[in-house]
Structure 1
Amino acid sequence: MRPPTAAMLGASLIGNDTLSSVLGWISIACWIVVYSPQIYENYQLKSGEGVSVLFISIWLLGDLLNLAGAVLGNLLPTVIILGAYYTACDLILLGQIYYYRWKKQQKYDEVDGPEGLSAADDEQTPLIPGSEGLDTSATPESVVEPLRVLLAKYAVAVLFVVVVGIGAWWVNEGRLHRTGPSLHGLFAYAKKQVKKPKHDVLVQFFGWSSAALFLGARIPQILKNFATCCKGLSPALFLFSILGNTTYCLSIIAKSVDKAYLLTNAGWLAGSGLTVFLDLFVLCQFMYYRSVDNSR
């Protein structure tokens, strides 16, 4: 679940709760970098077939609904820009998949291969250049590195993102005190909009709908992983998703455990909390298949 929603503003701005605000900034930092590892993995492999097209497509639809909720809720321009950024990243991932499929089709045509390469056929083709007896030196490090080395790298990356999130919160707090009434007025406007957002029913509808989409998007990826053994999939995508969703939920709960408040944010809490379990399952898949590869 994405952070730029009425729920996030309610958690991080109303009442200026420090812990809630820090967690909210960490969540945003995670979501800003969450796409980068998979985009880079696709670039290294010159293939996007490790990621399910249906997964990204559903994710894109969820981001569009989330963005619509932010616009209808009259949230801050920066919040809407973040929503647009997530949508653009979804489109980049889809663009990579279809671009590399097109390039592969071009190679087939050059060597008088099959006249057409369907999506179903492409799902069954080898994803990793070294997996069919080719030179593994051409494969990304994430494919051949021992699991313990990858875990150490990702631990450092997570620590870095957490520090960046805390730093962003600190800078924001400093600006808040230095700029005085103008920025306070801007935040006051945001708080007013969160308490009484326009089109509240529609905002809640978009919140619950995007939650269902983000949750359902994981299913096709999990099924695909059984067929591909997680080849071509960056675990960092799901690692940062877990951290982003966890800190997002905690930022809401840290603000208040009032029943009415939690019910208002229930859609975002459900979407974030439940996807954590599915993302953990994906990481378990990755570690299992990596341990099997290392034992051979």
Structure 2
Amino acid sequence: MMVPLSPAVMSNIAGYMSIATWIVVYSPQIWENYQLQSGEGLSVPFIVLWLLGDITNLFGGVMAKLLPTMIILAVYYTICDLILLFQVYYYRRKPSPAARTHIDPTDESTPLLPEPKQPKPLLPPSLEYPIMLGFVLLSGVGAWYITDQDEVKIPENPKVELEWKSQVLGWMSAVLYLGSRVPQIVHNYKTRCAGLSLAMFFFAISGNITYVLSIFFTSMNPRYILANLPWLAGSGLTVFLDLFVLAQFAVFNWQDKRKERVFASDEDEDEEA
């Protein structure tokens, strides 16, 4: 039996899609750190501010009695932040033999991070990431279809309670989320995004967009939007900063390939001479 696609249903579907996206969003970075035996691609202030934002978001969401999907996401974010933070300090205390070879990180001629042997991807990133995203989003829809399609309980005009404590926590989390990206962006200029997972930010953007949609589909009542504004700002505005990180990946990759072509051309000229 097909369920009519009412705003309440669409909100639930978007919420499940967001959960599915965030379940996998940290996995590429955790795996990247494991392969490199290093967490130096991540800025510690980035993780700490993200963690504090998730904690305040969690408490604010509970106090504001937000959608269950928001609470679930906040708990999951917090756990993943702690895992990333643990990896950074664990690998600093117990660096791998490969990491020990990089003694002087200030020497630009020395790679900052070890380069493990990795299998060549089957597909180019331009195809790989959209396919991965499509699979994850469909998994979210499938999870909704199996578990929640007959139990849509979101009212069309939900009651809104503007409680100042939850609003303060919500705005604190929004500021922390936005502020967390700044040290990572600065850090990327030092590392040229080495050791940083492109997929993490790609999925973070998708997760935040579906997260925002789950709120908008619930109700467009101005009072309801106002009550959820801190969470909309924290997720929505972070998307633009994450897009900036993706731009850093693209620019650094283009510069590196350009240097490789110049270097290869110089070698060919030397051989001919």
TM-score by shorter chain over 0.5: yes
Counterpart in 1 of 2:184? 221
The count of residues paired between Structure 1 and Structure 2 equals: 251
Kept in 2, the 8 Å contact 1:26–1:161? The answer is yes
The alignment partner of 1:17 has SS state of: helix
Stretch moving more, 68-77 or 284-293: 68-77
Counterpart in 1 of 2:233? 270
Flag structure 1 segments of 5+ consecutive residues without an equivalent.
Answer: 1-14, 131-137, 177-183
Stretch moving more, 71-80 or 83-92: 71-80
Structure 2 matches for 1:66-105, cutoff 5 A? 66-73=57-64, 80=71, 82-104=73-95
Kept in 1, the 8 Å contact 2:160–2:227? The answer is no
Which of these residues, 113, 117, 124, is aligned with residue 149 of structure 1?
124
Flag structure 2 segments of 5+ consecutive residues without an equivalent.
Answer: 1-5, 261-273
Tell me the C-alpha RMSD between the 2 structures: 3.3
Kept in 1, the 8 Å contact 2:50–2:81? The answer is yes
Deviation digits for residues 87-111 of structure 1, max 9, x if unmatched?
A: 121111011001111113x969x99
Which of these residues, 232, 253, 256, is aligned with residue 219 of structure 2?
256
Counterpart in 2 of 1:11? none
Kept in 2, the 8 Å contact 1:47–1:127? The answer is no
1:201, CA displacement in angstroms?
1.5
**TM-score normalized by structure 2?**
0.79
More helix by share: 1
Counterpart in 1 of 2:111? 126
* 2:14 counterpart of 1:23: yes
Q: Distance in 1 between matches of 2:76 and 2:61?
A: 13
Which of these residues, 52, 56, 66, is aligned with residue 65 of structure 1?
56
1:279, CA displacement in angstroms?
0.3
Kept in 2, the 8 Å contact 1:30–1:161? The answer is yes
**TM-score normalized by structure 1?**
0.74
C-alpha change, 1:74 and 1:265, in structure 2 (3 Å) is closer
C-alpha change, 1:165 and 1:100, in structure 2 (3 Å) is same
Which of these residues, 159, 179, 182, is aligned with residue 195 of structure 1?
159
1:74, CA displacement in angstroms?
5.3
Deviation digits for residues 140-181 of structure 1, max 9, x if unmatched?
A: 45xx769x71232211110111101111221233452xxxxx
The alignment partner of 1:232 has SS state of: coil
Deviation digits for residues 199-238 of structure 1, max 9, x if unmatched?
A: 8221111111111111110000000111111000001111
Letter in 1 for 2:147: N
Deviation digits for residues 66-122 of structure 1, max 9, x if unmatched?
A: 121233345688865543332121111011001111113x969x99x99xx9xx979
Kept in 1, the 8 Å contact 2:193–2:248? The answer is yes
C-alpha change, 1:74 and 1:263, in structure 2 (3 Å) is closer
Which of these residues, 23, 34, 41, is aligned with residue 25 of structure 2?
34
Q: Distance in 1 between matches of 2:191 and 2:163?
A: 43
Q: Distance in 2 between matches of 1:270 and 1:264?
A: 11
Which of these residues, 168, 172, 184, is aligned with residue 209 of structure 1?
172
Deviation digits for residues 33-89 of structure 1, max 9, x if unmatched?
A: 111110000001110000110000000001111121233345688865543332121
Q: Distance in 2 between matches of 1:163 and 1:288?
A: 31
Counterpart in 2 of 1:7? none
Kept in 2, the 8 Å contact 1:129–1:139? The answer is no
